[in-house]
Amino acid sequence: MAHELDIIPGTEWGFFTLPRPMCIAGPCSAETEEQVMETARGLNDFGIHVYRAGIWKPRTHPGSFEGVGTQGLKWLRRVKQELGMKVCTEVASEKHVLECIKYGVDMIWVGARTSANPFLMQEIADALEGTDIPVLVKNPVNPDLDLWIGALERLNRAGLKKLGVIHRGFSTSASIPYRNDPGWKIAIELRTRYPQMAFFADPSHMAGKRVYLQELSQRAMDLGLDGLMVESHCNPDAAWSDAAQQLTPAALKELLEKLIIRENTSDNEAYREGIDALRARIDVIDENLLKLLRDRMGVSQAIGRYKKEHNVAILQAGRWEQLLADMVSRAEAMGISAQAITAIMTAIHDESVRVQNNVLER
């Protein structure tokens, strides 16, 4: 089932400016009024106009710093009034939403632990009903695209149309250099389904460490995402939360300057002709691939019949493992990755087993 969302693009919310990336920056947590103001000034000075700061912090262990609470909203209000920036913070409950509305927060976001919880999402959606405040929904901690879409649907049904998403990666037990698994595949899928929806990446929570911020931000831009939410702190090493991943405003400025932004398309005549010719070649190859697959499935069907006549089971695991191993080594010799050929052959093999099963059931 297609889940329709009625969405107003981020460029029409009145505070993001193009060209890409639309940028949201600010500390993981608001800590003191001075830290909030100093960081905001540093960012505002080079053209960041949307400020983030966590006020209520979802921490792993009780007893860690859990945010300054409502007093932080007063500091954000000061950022608005003195610097003219737009401000946003994370909400996880009805109470948070009502406080944000009361203090004139311009935009809110829902964190990864909260978007994974339909009860909380519904509570937040109900509390927001009747407002038109923009809401950004981070991906749930687990790589579940439907859960992410469901969270957006709840907000949309409550009448909120200024909706966007923040991809911050997924919890994983695999040993990877980053704090969270980028799992870009899910982001691309969501982007493809809702191309009009403001799409941010959060390289900070994905990376967990400063050194990876540049490459992850570049990746997000190469995938054509609209913006970045980056954690920035006037004194990162002394931050009360997420110290290892925060950047000074100056370092963020440098990161943004180093980004290479490629356009999603080009109006240039020569480009159009060149790309059309290349795409035509791809179309012919895809057509041939389809015919080959059709022929291959025809042979699978014949094999199915033959096995049935001779009372032989469909799946011979040894044969499949051998076939896959052969394909992997031949593909690698042609410059095709083991991962890619394994995914392709597994899909073909699954379909082939299904075709043979159909023969058996007839």
Q: Are 29 and 53 in contact (CB under 8 A)?
A: yes
Which residues in this chain contact Mn ion in the complex, by CB under 5 A?
28, 242
CB-nearer residue toward ligand PEP: 63 or 335? 63
Work out which of 86, 138, 154, 179 binds ligand PEP, going by CB under 6 A.
138
Q: Assess 111 for contact with ligand PEP (CB under 6 A).
A: yes
Cα–Cα distance measured from residue 78 to residue 40, given in angstroms and rounded to the nearest whole number: 10
* Contact partner at residue 134 from ligand PEP, Mn ion, none, CB < 5 to 8 Å by partner kind: none
Q: How far is the CB of 75 from Mn ion (least distance, A)?
A: 17
Compute CA 303 distance to the chain's CA centroid, rounded to the nearest angstrom: 43
Q: How far is the CB of 8 from ligand PEP (least distance, A)?
A: 23
Site string for ligand PEP, 37-56 (x = CB under 6 A): -----------------x--
Q: Assess 100 for contact with ligand PEP (CB under 6 A).
A: no
DSSP 3-state assignment of 24? strand
Q: How far is the CB of 112 from ligand PEP (least distance, A)?
A: 4
Cα–Cα distance measured from residue 236 to residue 233, given in angstroms and rounded to the nearest whole number: 5
CB-nearer residue toward ligand PEP: 162 or 168? 168
Q: Assess 205 for contact with ligand PEP (CB under 6 A).
A: yes
In sequence order, what DSSP letters do the residues of 147-199 get, joined into one string? HHHHHHHHHHHTT---EEEEE--B--SS--SSSSB--HHHHHHHHHH-TTSEE
CB-nearer residue toward ligand PEP: 155 or 355? 155
- CA distances 166 to 178, 202, 232, 339, 357, Å, are 17, 6, 17, 27, 42
SS3 breakdown of the chain: % helix, strand, coil, rounded to 5? Answer: 55, 10, 35
Work out which of 50, 105, 112, 120 binds ligand PEP, going by CB under 6 A.
112
Residue bearing tokens 């995914």: 343
Work out which of 23, 24, 28, 163 binds ligand PEP, going by CB under 6 A.
28
Interaction site with ligand PEP (CB under 6 A): 28, 54, 58, 90, 111-112, 138, 168, 202, 205
